[in-house]
């Protein structure tokens, strides 16, 4: 009698590895391994084990392992137990794993899946490959500088310097540095360095370099300049953001912002008596300011009424000075106050100083100049008024400009009639006020 032995046949055991990121196997790519076993015998099989040993430096994505599996982190294995596999039926399993960052460029890996039945190894399948490292441009950076120095203004030139660094595992090949030209600027073609590999992309409005090769550990610097539009005389900001694209990389070099200062517009009012009405020293002051601070526009007005005293100026302030909305006010009274009383003069000046402060202006006070008392006999005690005015300014915290002392050194040069200024006297007063006013302006001429 012939006896036919029944047994399961499990050698139809297959494995397929797929790189879900496609292309080369790169660091941090995710692979999927699909396993399948079929019972081609004539007997059901029970308690089949499929044991997969992960390659070193791979990270199992545990939730991907399908029907219940056991992961042994010490052995780096995944084990599936198939309780029963009927004749002619099959069972599929899969898992996903990520390639770790510890791989070197072109380092090989190998994993193995083993089918075990009844204590015996039935079949082994190997999955293997080679990891291709990335270049890494993430340490690249750039700087921007105003080549004109100081504050940044409309019309200035900004210089961008971009340093590409490859800190990756392999050389970077055939990638691009793309630098969109910031809004409100004009690209300066002659500023490009290096010229090799450069084009200006008019569609993107971008400076673009194509880099053939950047070795591991190597860095290269690229430069270009732009001119800030004159449309930004009212101030604004220049924003830039550059990109590195290609060779499996996309790196954004962080946004940088350069503040553009608005051109400075200040109104200055010089208020006083005939020493303003008959003199051009406010105009001289204006010219000194604009010559020194080319980014500033000053409107310097003289409000002078012959024979006016400080208390009269106080009452005229709201109608004659305040409407200008001045940032700075220079008061020059006293020549006509002399002969009344010091207290009356100080009361008038106190009121004027408070008026100026009240509209937010920086207040400057200049002294009474030299007076020839042989001619102007009634004004012989004018120096007492100056001393009281100096004390008031100290008390009020406003600058006191002494025009008396330098004028007294050569009164014939500075005074036409022992009181009113010659052209040289006007220049002297303007210069003295200017030197004091500079202490209240920043390096560009804006009021502090």
pLDDT reading at 65 higher than 80: no
Which of 260, 198, 272 lies closest to 233 in space, CA to CA?
Answer: 260
Report pLDDT for 209: 98
Q: How confident is the model at residue 150 (pLDDT cuts 50, 70, 90)?
A: confident
Residue 388 neighbours by CB distance under 10 Å: 16
Residue 448 CA to residue 432 CA, distance in Å, equals 19
64 pLDDT more than 80: no
**Which CATH architecture does the domain made up of 12-131 adopt?**
Sandwich (2.60)
Residue pointed to by tokens 């056991």: 70
Nearby residues of 337 by Cβ (< 8 Å), 6 or more positions away: 309, 310, 344, 345, 348, 385
Residue 332 predicted with pLDDT over 70: yes
Separation CA 421–CA 372 (nearest Å): 12
Q: Mean pLDDT across the stretch 77-101?
A: 95
157-165 vs 141-146, strand pairing mode: antiparallel
**Phi and psi, residue 379, nearest 5°:** -110, 20
Q: In the prediction, which pLDDT does 68 show?
A: 78
Residues contacting residue 130 through CB under 8 Å, at least 6 positions apart: 25, 106, 107, 108, 109
Beta strand segments in 132-167, E: 141-146, 157-165
Euclidean distance between CA atoms 297 and 402, whole angstroms:
27
Q: In what order do the strands lie in the sheet with 198-201?
A: 198-201, 206-214, 172-180, 236-246, 249-260
In angstroms, the CA 228 to CA 239 distance is: 11
Which pTM was predicted?
A: 0.66
265-276 pLDDT tens trace: 999 999 999 999
Supply 204's token pair. Answer: 């993107």
| Residues paired with 164 in a beta bridge | 220
Which pLDDT belongs to residue 1?
53
Q: Stretch 203-207: mean pLDDT, rounded? A: 96
Report DSSP state, residue 155. T
- The dihedral region occupied by 437, where left means phi > 0, alpha psi between -120 and 50, and beta the remainder, is alpha
The tokens 């036409």 sit on which residue? 416
CATH topology of domain 141-260: Immunoglobulin-like (2.60.40)
Residue 341 has pLDDT above 60, yes or no: yes
Residue 5 vs residue 165, higher pLDDT? 165
- Give pLDDT, residue 62: 73
Question: What value does the mean pLDDT take over residues 221-249?
Answer: 96
CB contact at 8 A, 315 and 352: no
Residue 63, SS3 per DSSP: helix
Do 174 and 136 touch, CB atoms closer than 8 A? no
Q: What is the pLDDT of residue 176?
A: 98
Q: How far apart are CA 435 and CA 358, in angstroms?
A: 24
Which part of the chain is CATH 3.40.50.1110?
264-440
Domain limits, CATH 2.60.40.740, in the chain: 12-131, 141-260
Q: Would you identify the CATH topology of the domain 264-440?
A: Rossmann fold (3.40.50)
Average model confidence (pLDDT) across the chain: 95
User: Residue 3 pLDDT > 60, yes or no?
Assistant: no
Which pLDDT score is estimated for 248? 83
Which residue in this structure is represented by tokens 């009274």? 333
């Amino acid at each position: 009698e012939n006896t036919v032995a029944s047994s399961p046949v499990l050698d139809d055991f297959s494995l397929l590895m797929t790189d879900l990121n496609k292309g080369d196997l790169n660091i941090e790519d995710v692979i999927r391994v699909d396993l399948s076993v079929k019972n081609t015998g004539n007997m059901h099989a029970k308690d089949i084990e499929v044991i997969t040993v992960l390659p070193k430096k791979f990270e199992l994505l545990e939730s991907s392992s399908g029907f219940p599996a056991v992961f042994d982190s010490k052995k780096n294995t995944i084990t599936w137990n198939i309780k029963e596999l009927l004749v002619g039926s099959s069972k599929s399993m899969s898992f996903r794993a990520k390639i770790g960052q510890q791989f070197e460029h072109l380092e090989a890996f190998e994993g193995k899946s083993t089918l075990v039945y009844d204590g015996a190894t039935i079949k082994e399948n190997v999955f293997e490959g080679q990891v291709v490292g990335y270049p890494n441009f993430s340490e690249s950076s750039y700087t921007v500088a105003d080549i004109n120095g100081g504050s940044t203004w409309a019309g200035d030139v900004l210089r961008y310097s971009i340093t590409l660094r490859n800190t990756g595992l392999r050389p970077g090949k055939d990638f691009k540095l793309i630098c969109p030209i910031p809004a409100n600027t004009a690209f300066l073609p002659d500023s490009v360095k290096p010229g090799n590999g450069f084009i200006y992309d008019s569609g993107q409005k971008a400076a673009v370099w194509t880099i053939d090769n950047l070795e591991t550990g190597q860095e290269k610097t690229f430069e270009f300049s732009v001119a800030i539009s004159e449309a930004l005389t009212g101030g604004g900001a220049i924003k830039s953001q550059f990109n590195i694209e290609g060779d499996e990389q996309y790196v954004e070099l962080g946004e940088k912002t350069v503040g553009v200062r608005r051109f400075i517009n200040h109104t200055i009012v010089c208020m006083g008596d005939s020493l303003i009405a008959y003199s051009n020293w406010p105009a001289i002051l204006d010219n000194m300011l604009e010559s020194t601070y080319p980014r500033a526009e000053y409107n310097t007005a003289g409000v002078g009424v012959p024979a006016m005293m400080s208390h009269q100026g106080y009452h005229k302030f709201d109608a004659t000075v305040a409407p200008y909305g001045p940032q700075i006010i220079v008061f020059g009274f006293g020549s006509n106050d002399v002969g009344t009383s010091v207290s009356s003069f100080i009361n008038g000046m106190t009121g004027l100083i408070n008026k100026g402060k009240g509209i937010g202006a920086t207040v400057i006070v200049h002294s009474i100049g030299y007076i020839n008392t042989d001619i102007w006999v009634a004004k012989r005690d004018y120096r007492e008024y100056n001393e009281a005015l100096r004390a008031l300014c100290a008390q009020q915290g406003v600058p006191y400009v002494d025009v008396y002392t330098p004028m007294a050194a050569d009164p014939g040069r500075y005074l036409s009639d022992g009181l009113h200024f010659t052209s040289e006297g006007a220049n002297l007063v303007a210069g003295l006020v200017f030197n004091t006013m500079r202490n209240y302006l920043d390096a560009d001429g804006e009021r502090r």
